[in-house]
Chains A and B, each alone.
Chain A
Amino acid sequence: MPFIPHTENDIKEMLATIGVDHIDALFDEIPSELRCGELDAIPPGMPEMEVSRLMQMRARADGQPLCFIGAGAYDHHIPAAVWELTTRGEFYTAYTPYQAEASQGTLQLLYEYQSMMTALTGMDVSNASLYDGASALAEAVLMAVRGNRKSKSKRILLPRNLHPTYRRVVHTIVRNQQIELVEVGYDRVTGSIDHAELERYSGEDFAALVIPQPNFFGILEAVDELTNWAHDNGMLAIAVVNPMAMAILRPAGEWGDLGADICCGEGQPLGAPVSSGGPYFGFLCSTDKLVRQMPGRIIGKTVDLDGKIGYALTLQAREQHIRRSKATSNICTNQGLMVTAATIHMTLMGGEGLQRVAAASHANTGKLTQALTSLPGVETVFKGAVFHEQVLRLPIEVTKALRALAAHNVLGGFDLSDDYPELGDAVLVCATELRNEDDIENYRGKLERVIQSQVQTPCQLKPDW
């Protein structure tokens, strides 16, 4: 029997000890009318080699197209050692570190993770991670509403140039707690938050302003000005950042005069493969002042009975297993394994390595932009400075263009026409350090042909003879 070690003899002896004749007798407390029959509609079990064949076929079916999509998931190089170590059974098959003495590996690693995240973001404290970037933002919003004691409104300013799915996720998670999300538009020329529109809310009661860096369009925001504006108006500043950007841009803890109050985001660029969207991890950092409003696990350094340094879950009274209905969140676990990978990833890359990756990705997106805008009718949509992502407008229908490119095994970017129809035929492109000049030329060449084939309309003029 797969994964079950019992021999015939074991079963006989065990049943005799219990004092029943058949295993089925052990289910005698389940009312018989509720018992289900055979699960015939589920296929029979397969040996590993057959499942292996099936999965190889499935993986092959999706091909390995040349990908220029970013939009919240970035294909970076992951050092070989990262997942070699992460999938060690002692990390991979351990549970949440409830028995601290038997979990010092995970606990110390999480403390190191928290240390590295505060180093990267410039914030005071970090939790041990949440599910993903979008749900981390939702938790940051809830945290701001709890933590901003001056504000009574439960209202949040959320810019429209924040990742559209993040906005939807925040809505899903907070809407039943009477929290109001007020959207702020973006400047159609620069692509950044519309300061004039923001100014209209000056003096009103909001718990927080959400500041993306970079925003969904890849555009860099005037984070100092925005952070100060939030603080001047009694709001907390919630930074939503790409951690790779934090390696090279001024960290959230240094924004404006006082720094952001909360900094969250998607941890995927730090060692997680893009793998269809998950598992990734959300990170959440804050100032010391807000630490008790943090959701999720937090690890603290302490000592044991002999005074030896050790690590333990701390501030647990915030959490659901103690505080039940009054907990800061219902979250139990973190994304432990992804954080293990991220911690090893950050260690191997170091500050210099992450900066090189950030710079190379940024430069490649610059080259891609240059190559594509050399085509007639292709242009950048916004004037603002970007970080490794760019919005381009195409001279043809963007949805059709991307479909045609995909048919040639090039994923040409994220189609913005559903979420931002006002931008016309706009596409968000990204070239990480993994895309080289041949890849960029490949994309340029194919887009050129797609544009030519689609703008070629039947000749209207009669031949001139």
Chain B
Amino acid sequence: MSNTPTDRRYAKSHEWLKDEGDGNFTIGITDHAQGLLGDLVFVDLPEVGTVVEAGNDCAVVESVKAASDVYSPVTGEVIAVNEALDGAPETINDDAFGNGWMFKVKVADAVESDSLLDAAGYDALIAEEE
């Protein structure tokens, strides 16, 4: 049943992290997270060039009834943000794992992956929450 992609890892705070293989990682929120938030109306992204720290909030996704911080799963420099979300935050509702990506981080050191989950682990986490 699960449609959680297996090509990436997950934070307990519902972000996904995909290794692009060139030292860069793409980050977004999971389909489960967008479902909890409902129709998104605004996405506040970090500025390119900002240094984000693993576990710190660096973006905000807003629905009508809630605003939720997005925490970077890794430490590094933001090298790109998904500007298309600016006028179309609903892209995250429609395609959280694909076109709804939020920002890319260039990581200097190895990623501390201990606290991150694989797809099965994330599915188990969601099952537990429900």
- Our verdict on whether A and B bind, yes or no, reads yes
Any B CB within 8 A of the CB of A322: yes
Residues of B contacting A317 with CB < 8 Å? 41-42, 62-67
With A and B bound together, what is the CA distance between A149 and B41 in angstroms?
Answer: 22
The answer on a CB contact under 8 Å between A323 and B47 is no
The answer on a CB contact under 8 Å between B64 and A149 is no
With A and B bound together, what is the CA distance between A322 and B66 in angstroms?
Answer: 6
Residues of A contacting B69 with CB < 8 Å? 326
Residues of A contacting B42 with CB < 8 Å? 292, 317
Most A C-beta atoms less than 10 A away, residue of B42, B47, B66, B67: B67
Binary flags per residue of B51-74, CB closer than 8 Å to A gives 1, else 0: 000000000001111110100000
The answer on a CB contact under 8 Å between B67 and A149 is no
* Chain A residues numbered 157-190 whose CB sits less than 8 Å from any CB in chain B: none
Residues of B contacting A149 with CB < 8 Å? 47
Any B CB within 8 A of the CB of A316: yes
With A and B bound together, what is the CA distance between A323 and B128 in angstroms?
Answer: 26
The answer on a CB contact under 8 Å between B67 and A322 is yes
Interface residues of chain B: helix, strand, loop or mixed (majority): strand
Smallest Cβ distance from A292 to chain B, in angstroms? Answer: 7
Residues of A contacting B67 with CB < 8 Å? 317-318, 322-323, 326
Smallest Cβ distance from B50 to chain A, in angstroms? Answer: 10
Most B C-beta atoms less than 10 A away, residue of A292, A317, A318: A317
Among B41, B44, B47, B65, the residue within 8 A (CB) of A322 is: B65
Interface residues of chain A: helix, strand, loop or mixed (majority): helix
Smallest Cβ distance from A322 to chain B, in angstroms? Answer: 6
Smallest Cβ distance from B63 to chain A, in angstroms? Answer: 7
With A and B bound together, what is the CA distance between A149 and B69 in angstroms?
Answer: 18
How many residues of A are in contact with the other chain, CB < 8 A? 8
With A and B bound together, what is the CA distance between A322 and B47 in angstroms?
Answer: 25
Interface residues on B, range: 10 to 19
With A and B bound together, what is the CA distance between A179 and B44 in angstroms?
Answer: 24
Q: Which residue of A lies closest to B47 (CB)?
A: A149
Smallest Cβ distance from B58 to chain A, in angstroms? Answer: 13
Residues of B contacting A323 with CB < 8 Å? 67
Most A C-beta atoms less than 10 A away, residue of B41, B62, B63, B65: B62
Smallest Cβ distance from B43 to chain A, in angstroms? Answer: 11
Q: Which residue of B lies closest to A317 (CB)?
A: B67
Q: Which residue of A lies closest to B65 (CB)?
A: A322
The answer on a CB contact under 8 Å between A316 and B47 is no
Residues of A contacting B47 with CB < 8 Å? 149
Residues of A contacting B64 with CB < 8 Å? 316-317
Binary flags per residue of B64-98, CB closer than 8 Å to A gives 1, else 0: 11110100000000000000000000000000000
Binary flags per residue of B24-42, CB closer than 8 Å to A gives 1, else 0: 0000000000000000011
Q: Which residue of B lies closest to A323 (CB)?
A: B67
Q: Which residue of A lies closest to B67 (CB)?
A: A317
Smallest Cβ distance from B87 to chain A, in angstroms? Answer: 13
Smallest Cβ distance from A302 to chain B, in angstroms? Answer: 11
* Chain A residues numbered 316-343 whose CB sits less than 8 Å from any CB in chain B: 316-318, 322-323, 326
With A and B bound together, what is the CA distance between A256 and B69 in angstroms?
Answer: 37
Binary flags per residue of B109-129, CB closer than 8 Å to A gives 1, else 0: 000000000000000000000
With A and B bound together, what is the CA distance between A317 and B66 in angstroms?
Answer: 6
With A and B bound together, what is the CA distance between A214 and B47 in angstroms?
Answer: 37
Smallest Cβ distance from A99 to chain B, in angstroms? Answer: 15
Smallest Cβ distance from B111 to chain A, in angstroms? Answer: 27
Smallest Cβ distance from A147 to chain B, in angstroms? Answer: 12
With A and B bound together, what is the CA distance between A322 and B65 in angstroms?
Answer: 7
Smallest Cβ distance from B25 to chain A, in angstroms? Answer: 24
Beyond A317-B67, A322-B67, 18 additional contacts (C-beta under 8 Å) are A149-B47, A292-B42, A292-B44, A316-B64, A316-B65, A317-B41, A317-B42, A317-B62, A317-B63, A317-B64, A317-B65, A317-B66, A318-B67, A322-B65, A322-B66, A323-B67, A326-B67, A326-B69
20 interchain pairs, CB-CB under 8 A: A149-B47, A292-B42, A292-B44, A316-B64, A316-B65, A317-B41, A317-B42, A317-B62, A317-B63, A317-B64, A317-B65, A317-B66, A317-B67, A318-B67, A322-B65, A322-B66, A322-B67, A323-B67, A326-B67, A326-B69
The 6 A-B residue pairs with the shortest CB-CB distance in the complex, in nearest-first order: A317-B67, A317-B62, A323-B67, A322-B67, A322-B66, A317-B66
